[in-house]
Structure 1
């Protein structure tokens, strides 16, 4: 009889210690890329280039960069390390603007939200026909790793946020180094 209660106590203690450092499955948290919660700094009065610093999750922040009608995002760590995602080099070289919100893919570790990925809608200009440029809606998926963060995939028109989440939550992918054609939507 004493073995059963001791086994139960051991199992409860094991579960409690595992739960204390347990990592949950990814979930979404949304933060604004505009508005009163962001602080605007004019970087160049002549061109109108500016940086918005907006609150993120888990003491992270986002910097929204706008220069020459092109937009990008930097991730700022709690230690104030700035990681440039370089949307103008890896998402689109054309004119662009960002959606109103960023979707963070986070896990809870030891009760704290830990960012694992970032999904941002980028409204770009397809300038393959210079006479008739078209607006295109893209989803930029960045994975946030222990030592870096980078854009790993750009999804084209028709792609869903669910497809972007699957990539964000999936295996680690190589960082994009240059603009690649957006991955087409796979309708199911």
Structure 2
């Protein structure tokens, strides 16, 4: 898992730094992924699986999914289309928690705000020693397109200038989607 994340982080950063077409004039708006602004729906009473429906920006919403101590995120469009990001398949299959805020990367066109990406902290837990799992903080980056969204990068949140690097990745409209963790080196174009 660790080698995968280092390899993934390096390849995403290399691709990002080589791509000069990163979107200009991108800005950020932050929204909460927990608290009173979110409504909770129980998905499975026996397991405690639930979904938090949280406000986003520009008519978008976020669904925080919790099932078996694993978290993921869905983006919901203004037209109510659910765009799963599948963190538990793309980022980690292990236990995970999400940070409290989402950073929306936005473009402003003719006074209109359009979300182009989202950055969320995901704490993953390496299970090499189940008695003392190691917490690995990640920044997970997903691009948002008109009718789809996908994870385009994940990096260790403890590296120097992690937030700046994550924003560069988020603002790069040419990065491919990452596939499920079982095939980490493949990528597809959305």
**TM-score w.r.t. length of structure 2:** 0.79
Q: Provide Cα deviations, 1:112-152, integer angstroms capped at 9, x if missing partner.
A: 21000000000110123445320110011001112311001
Is contact 1:150-1:175 (8 Å) kept?
yes
Is contact 2:97-2:124 (8 Å) kept?
yes
Is contact 1:60-1:76 (8 Å) kept?
yes
The Cα RMSD (Å) is: 1.7
Q: Unaligned regions of 5+ residues in structure 2, if any?
A: 1-22, 186-190
> Which segment drifts farther, 95-104 or 169-178?
169-178
Q: Provide Cα deviations, 1:79-138, integer angstroms capped at 9, x if missing partner.
A: 000000000001111100000000000011221210000000001101234453201100
How many residue pairs are counted as aligned between the two chains? 159
Matched, 1:72 2:50: no
In the TM superposition, what is the alpha-carbon distance from 1:66 to its structure 2 partner? 0.3
Q: Provide Cα deviations, 1:35-65, integer angstroms capped at 9, x if missing partner.
A: 0100100010000000000000100000000
Matched, 1:108 2:99: no
**TM-score w.r.t. length of structure 1:** 0.80
- Tell me how far apart the structure 1 counterparts of residues 78 and 55 of structure 2 sit (CA, whole Å): 11
- Tell me how far apart the structure 1 counterparts of residues 100 and 27 of structure 2 sit (CA, whole Å): 19
Is contact 1:24-1:109 (8 Å) kept?
no
Instruction: Report what 1:162 is aligned to.
Output: 164
- Tell me how far apart the structure 1 counterparts of residues 144 and 41 of structure 2 sit (CA, whole Å): 25
Is contact 2:99-2:120 (8 Å) kept?
yes
Instruction: Report what 2:52 is aligned to.
Output: 52
Instruction: Report what 2:8 is aligned to.
Output: none
